[in-house]
Chain A
Amino acid sequence: MKNFRRLWLDGPYLLWTAAFIVIPLFTIVYYGLTDKTGAFTWDNILAMGTLERMKALILSLVLSLIATAVCLVMAYPLALILTNLKSGATGFIVSIFIIPMWMNSLLRILAWQTLLERNGVINQILQAMHLPKLYIINTPYAIALGMIYDFLPFMILPIYNSLLKLDPNVVNAAYDLGANRFQTFWKVIFPLTLPGVISGITMVFVPALTTFVISAFLGGSKVLLIGNVIEQQFTQVGDWNIGSGLSLVLMVFILISMAVMQHYDKDIAENKTAL
């Protein structure tokens, strides 16, 4: 009777996890390593080697690294300011900067398309002020801008949370022991918030690396990221084997960034216990 009850409770979600999370991962590996007849092959992985695809992959890596770096530089001061707010409406103010995280990213990118167009809002304003126009739509610059805009809240939130958890006594101790602001920041505050920084980096880097919406809206059809290349394999070309092979290559980068995060997190845990 007890076993039956357990089965009833455990069964549905375990079954769901197996059927729609675990088995699909094996399916993508299977498709990626076989050809149409089901025979084993490396060809789908090596398909990444064409000039066009390598260009897309490298561009994706470069743009997502730039976007991550800019997000970090913009988000850290903001998170510091938010932590130091002494207003009764702190909760509200903080949520203003976090809410965009939960708003449809497709639409937010659409908004930037409207802003950046040749005759878009920004160019009309520039024209009215007799300034030179800005033609960055359909270039990698527009895509980088879209990434920064889209993922900035994902960097703010974890850094803000780790700053909140920071023990004020540790910071006070640094000042008492004669450290100046700069030293206190680099030697105490920043290292202690590193787990938040790392998780922010992952939360920006992975979606930026794998996006195809931002490049579809802001890059026209001229600039392709690796996300677009893979998406086209599935929705337009219909070659699931090559599509899966390319996805496996992409997943290597996702796994690397997660491994880095886990590594740093562990180090932090050790440092904390040492303190």
Chain B
Amino acid sequence: MQEEKAFAKTGACAVRKTEGIPLRKILSRIYLIFIFILLYAPIAVLIVFSFNSSRTRAKWGGWTLQWYVRMFQDAAIMAALRNTLIIALLSALIATLLGLMASVSLLNMKHKKRSVVLSLIDIPMLNAEIVTGICLMLIFIALGQFLSRWGYTIEFGFATVLIGHITFNLPYTVLSIMPKLRQINTSTYEAALDLGASRWLAFRKVILPDILPGVLSGFMLAFTLSLDDFVITHFTKGPGFDTISTKVYTEVRKGIKPEMYALSTLLFVSILLILLIFGRGPKKKAASEHLSRV
């Protein structure tokens, strides 16, 4: 756009513009479509296979919904689905609450202290997932060894996975809430205090409505990330506890069953719906800006 504006300015270049643009435009359309197909064709194939009535992938046996029926009848898959949803909901809720507290308290901190604490919170976002997963696994192992002196044990399962998810969600919720909180005019809050409101009431009635979009998008981001996570769950879960991702991983290593395609399709479609319904733009922008700032 900028280039074309520049050409339009000078008469000499305007000639070049009329000659050059159509071909460029066609090429760039082709390139867009090429990348689009590259990104989505594999997903489409996976979805189509979830309706294939033939058990082997080598053959197309006609359309069927039987894998979806079987999936819903499979107790292990349903348990994994339930775990995934509960973990996603709880971890997003707790991470949002912690993130809200962190944002409010960070804003009151001195600049230097704030940037130190903020970069500590950001570690799980910047670090490799495998390292975060291993770190969490080790702290639970170490804690278990420590507690065993008094006869306590730490069981890897729901609680450890939940803690892991809250930990990697925390930076994202802080990231969504902090910018909104920064924009707020503190004098309205002070006015509320002057008029006799308690701190909590003033926060609830004056500040919270303004930052609510940030809080909600933080929650949705955390929910989506938790729903999608595999690596952290893989290291913090115990035997017998599965989420959809870990279930798919173990099943695929044994050999793919068509039910897994049905399950994958279900997860893809729900994530896509969440992303389309709760606008995707600003928070991701914030995420990458944040990353480039660090």
B271 at the interface (CB under 8 A from A): yes
A74 at the interface (CB under 8 A from B): yes
**Given known A104-B245, A199-B292, A209-B128, contact A24–B45 (CB-CB < 8 A):** no
Q: Which of B121-139 contact A (CB under 8 A)?
A: 121, 123-124, 126-131, 134-139
| Inter-chain contact A216/B139, CB cutoff 8 Å | no
* Bound Cα distance from A171 to B7, whole angstroms: 11
| Inter-chain contact B275/A102, CB cutoff 8 Å | yes
Contacting residue for B32 out of A81, A86, A103, CB 8 A: A81
User: What does the 1/0 interface line of A5-26 toward B look like (CB < 8 Å)?
Assistant: 1100110111011011111110
* Bound Cα distance from A221 to B236, whole angstroms: 23
A267 at the interface (CB under 8 A from B): no
Size bin of chain A's contact surface: 35 or more
Contacting residue for A20 out of B101, B163, B289, B292, CB 8 A: B163
B294 contacts which chain A residues (CB < 8 A)?
A: 262
A176 at the interface (CB under 8 A from B): yes
* Bound Cα distance from A105 to B225, whole angstroms: 11
A86 CB, min distance to chain B CBs, angstroms: 7
Q: How many A-B residue pairs have CB under 8 A?
A: 249
**Given known A107-B264, A250-B131, contact A21–B124 (CB-CB < 8 A):** yes
| Inter-chain contact B42/A227, CB cutoff 8 Å | no
| Inter-chain contact A106/B249, CB cutoff 8 Å | yes
Q: Which of A91-136 contact B (CB under 8 A)?
A: 91, 93, 95-108, 110-115, 117, 119-121, 124
Q: Which of A141-162 contact B (CB under 8 A)?
A: 149, 152-153, 157-158, 161-162
* Bound Cα distance from A21 to B128, whole angstroms: 13
| Inter-chain contact A12/B2, CB cutoff 8 Å | no
**Given known A31-B138, A95-B281, A104-B267, contact A78–B35 (CB-CB < 8 A):** yes
| Inter-chain contact B128/A250, CB cutoff 8 Å | yes
Contacting residue for B6 out of A171, A195, A207, CB 8 A: A171
Residue in chain B with minimal CB distance to A32 = B138
| Inter-chain contact A119/B117, CB cutoff 8 Å | no
| Inter-chain contact B288/A114, CB cutoff 8 Å | no
Question: By CB atoms of chain A within 10 A, which of B123, B252, B291 has the most?
Answer: B291
A217 contacts which chain B residues (CB < 8 A)?
A: 252
| Inter-chain contact B245/A106, CB cutoff 8 Å | yes
A191 at the interface (CB under 8 A from B): no
A124 contacts which chain B residues (CB < 8 A)?
A: 58
A98 contacts which chain B residues (CB < 8 A)?
A: 280, 284
| Inter-chain contact B58/A161, CB cutoff 8 Å | no
* Bound Cα distance from A196 to B127, whole angstroms: 18
**Which residues of A come within 8 Å of B, CB atoms?**
5-6, 9-10, 12-14, 16-17, 19-25, 27-28, 31, 74, 77-78, 81-84, 86, 91, 93, 95-108, 110-115, 117, 119-121, 124, 149, 152-153, 157-158, 161-162, 166, 168, 171-172, 175-176, 181, 184, 195-196, 198-199, 202-203, 206-207, 209-213, 216-217, 227, 230-231, 234-235, 240, 243-244, 247, 250-251, 254, 258, 262, 265
